[in-house]
Structure 1
């Protein structure tokens, strides 16, 4: 039967009229009807043209007229690339999560008591606190040095003298180092903020491993 560009009711009627012929080919598979949108209008037929191969469509049984399946439209190249990229990101996130849980489990199994686990985290916390203090002192020193250098450059300009090239280069170097140190301080502070969450997870894992059910009863850290 040729394709019918008509509403579903007409397509079904044509399919029913052709029932004797369809019965002869029943062994070859159930006959289907398709409905899809084409140029803003609904089109139905017993064959899917090449122009509609990538379109969203609904499939119907020619025998009963009931919908048997729904096929979404094919993704565009851009959508496929975005989906592949997102799938890769999801896979990486799952890998990181699994690796974190493995590290927590291994760490929890390495300590005899909860106090030992807390002590290990406290050592990391103390180290991070010292690192933050050192970074703050370094930034303060760089800031004062840069202010002094800028003052020298300003005095030279106010006196009508050119700013020495070596002074300009030193100012640029000091400023770049100040920005780098400030960026490191932000990272150190973020690590310090996240370690409390890590400790809570580690304690929960430890309690679950050592005493099943204790994590739910004991709550957080």
Structure 2
């Protein structure tokens, strides 16, 4: 049976190879559709004015869509795309560096208790800083209240508020605002270090396995 069909296959191949060039080109020919001045235009050739436009390409033989070509980017869009690509590359570098730090962390601490102790000094320092800032804010409030009382008494007595008193009130008020902003920042840092510790523990457990929480000898009978 193979011998019977072989001449047919050879004949078809020969016919295709010997087909006129125009017929072969017709098979490859494309049709294009694009928007021009708000209206859809189609043709069998793409003018130079449409090379940067979004378009749909069709097969002239089958009428099926062969590709969708987006419009050319503007210089601003190209710059934005390049900037986004740089950001994504930097993000990948940061993630790779983070993974390296996490693996190094898993090698550095024998147990979770060791990892917690590494964070405890940072946590204690932040807690002390928050307490000190709170005390400073309390002292500034009391001092400012006293200064404002003095200014109020002077005004009630029909006197001008001394310039040095007014200046001190302004200075202490500005310092109070600064200290309050610092307290907000310290509290945010404190929350972030708690989240960082929790993430570090989860990563540590994933890298070290279920025995990570046990200290040396804890699992011995």
When normalised by structure 1's length, the TM-score is 0.71
Q: Which residue of 2 aligns with 1:131?
A: 129
Q: How far apart are residue 104 of structure 1 and its match?
A: 3.0
Q: Which residue of 2 aligns with 1:174?
A: 172
Task: Return closer, same or farther for 1:134/1:23 CA change in 2, 3 Å cut-off.
Answer: same
Deviates more, 1:125-134 or 1:84-93: 84-93
How many positions carry a matched residue from both structures? 193
**How far apart, in 2, do the equivalents of 1:178 and 1:99 lie?**
40
Q: How far apart are residue 124 of structure 1 and its match?
A: 2.2
Larger-gyration structure (1/2): 2
Q: Which residue of 2 aligns with 1:44?
A: 42
Q: How far apart are residue 180 of structure 1 and its match?
A: 1.9
Q: How far apart are residue 203 of structure 1 and its match?
A: 1.8
Deviates more, 1:128-137 or 1:168-177: 168-177
In structure 2, stretches of 5+ residues that fail to align are 1-19, 212-221
Q: How far apart are residue 100 of structure 1 and its match?
A: 3.4
**How far apart, in 2, do the equivalents of 1:181 and 1:95 lie?**
36
* SS of equivalent residue, structure 1 residue 69: strand
In structure 1, stretches of 5+ residues that fail to align are 1-19, 216-221
**How far apart, in 1, do the equivalents of 2:80 and 2:162 lie?**
52
Deviations 1:151-191 (A, max 9, x none): 33333333333333333332222222222222221121112
**How far apart, in 2, do the equivalents of 1:201 and 1:135 lie?**
28
Q: Which residue of 1 aligns with 2:29?
A: 31
- Which of 206, 209, 215 lines up with 1:208 in the alignment? 206
**How far apart, in 1, do the equivalents of 2:84 and 2:153 lie?**
56
RMSD of aligned Cα (Å): 3.0
**How far apart, in 2, do the equivalents of 1:79 and 1:139 lie?**
49
TM alignment of 1:60-209, pairs within 5 A: 60-209=58-207
Task: Return closer, same or farther for 1:99/1:42 CA change in 2, 3 Å cut-off.
Answer: same
Deviations 1:29-57 (A, max 9, x none): 94332111223321111232343333221
Deviations 1:2-40 (A, max 9, x none): xxxxxxxxxxxxxxxxxx7744768xx943321112233
**How far apart, in 2, do the equivalents of 1:158 and 1:83 lie?**
66
Are the counterparts in 2 of residues 108 and 202 from structure 1 also a CA contact under 8 Å? no
